[in-house]
């Protein structure tokens, strides 16, 4: 085994250890309060060592966000591969997003507030672009499903698949974000009793009903 290979593996292992410590700190303390000092203390390393692997706290946030996006992407791709019907693919995508929000609530919470952070990350780092590319890949997958539905004549052909993909993503994301909080509120339950799964499922059905091709 070459010494350079061993050193590279040790470097990657150390970086992963710092990343896991950072996730624990940022999720427990919150994105606005967590500091590099907190990460160093959790990882039992010096602050200077942390900076050898992450340029700043924004780069750490980008890495955590990128990890969350990869989890979501894997979940959605797996769900879509189990379906052949375009309409059913849209339904399972929404359910997969809900599963992601339920299984990894901290990552979902970061997706809700990431726009509050100016992620001035080093473009030489893979997570600098991965977090944005992952989102584009998911939107592209949704766009291709819409095109498939138009080609199979189950969806309207007068819609712009790219714009529609953005609208669907925004609606599902927004519904999950709002409902996941309000479902615990007794006042809203008095107004309309619902479960998180039911409100998301019905929202997806409404979206599909609006874009599907209706036979006369």
Q: Do the Cβ atoms of 31 and 113 come closer than 8 Å?
A: yes
pTM of the model: 0.82
What are the backbone angles phi and psi of residue 164, rounded to the nearest 5°?
A: -65, -40
Q: Do the Cβ atoms of 107 and 67 come closer than 8 Å?
A: yes
pLDDT of res. 147: 96
pLDDT of res. 7: 80
pLDDT greater at residue 181 or residue 14: 14
pLDDT of res. 9: 86
Q: pLDDT category, 158, cuts 50, 70, 90?
A: very high
pLDDT, mean over the chain: 85
pLDDT of res. 213: 87
CA distance 127 to 166: 23
Which span out of 36-50, 59-73, 197-211 was modeled with the highest average pLDDT? 36-50
pLDDT at 89 over 80: yes
Secondary structure in 3-state letters for the chain: CCHHHHHHHHHHHHHHHHHHHHHHHHHHHCCCCCCHHHHHHHHCCCHHHHHHHCCCHHHHHHHHHHHHHHHHHHHHHHHHHCCCCHHHHHHHHHHHHHHHHHHCHHHHHHHHHHHHCCCCCCCCCHHHHHHHHHHHHHHHHHHHHHHHHHHCCCECCCCCHHHHHHHHHHHHHHHHHHHHHHCCCHHHHHHCCCCHHHHHHHHHHHHHHHHECCCC
Structural domains of the chain ordered from first start: 1-54 (1.10.10.60), 57-211 (1.10.357.10)
Percent of residues, the chain, with pLDDT higher than 70: 84
């Amino acid at each position: 085994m070459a010494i350079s290979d061993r050193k590279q593996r040790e470097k990657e292992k150390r970086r992963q250890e710092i990343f896991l410590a950072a996730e624990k700190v940022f999720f427990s303390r919150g994105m606005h309060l967590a500091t590099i000092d907190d990460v160093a203390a959790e990882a039992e390393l010096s602050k200077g060592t942390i900076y050898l692997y992450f340029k700043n706290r924004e780069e750490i946030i980008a890495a955590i966000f990128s990890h969350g996006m990869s989890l979501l992407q894997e979940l959605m791709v797996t769900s879509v591969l189990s379906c052949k019907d375009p309409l059913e693919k849209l339904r399972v995508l929404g359910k997969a997003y809900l599963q992601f929000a339920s299984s990894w609530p901290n990552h979902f919470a970061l997706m809700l507030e990431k726009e509050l952070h100016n992620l001035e990350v080093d473009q030489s780092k893979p997570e600098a672009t991965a977090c944005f590319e992952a989102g584009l890949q998911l939107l592209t997958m949704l766009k291709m499903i819409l095109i498939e539905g138009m080609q199979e004549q189950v969806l309207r052909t007068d819609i712009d698949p790219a714009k529609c993909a953005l609208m669907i993503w925004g609606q599902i994301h927004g519904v999950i974000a709002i409902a996941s909080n309000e479902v615990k509120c007794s006042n809203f339950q008095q107004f309309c009793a619902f479960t998180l799964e039911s409100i998301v499922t019905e929202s997806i059905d409404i979206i599909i009903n609006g874009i599907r091709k209706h036979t006369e």
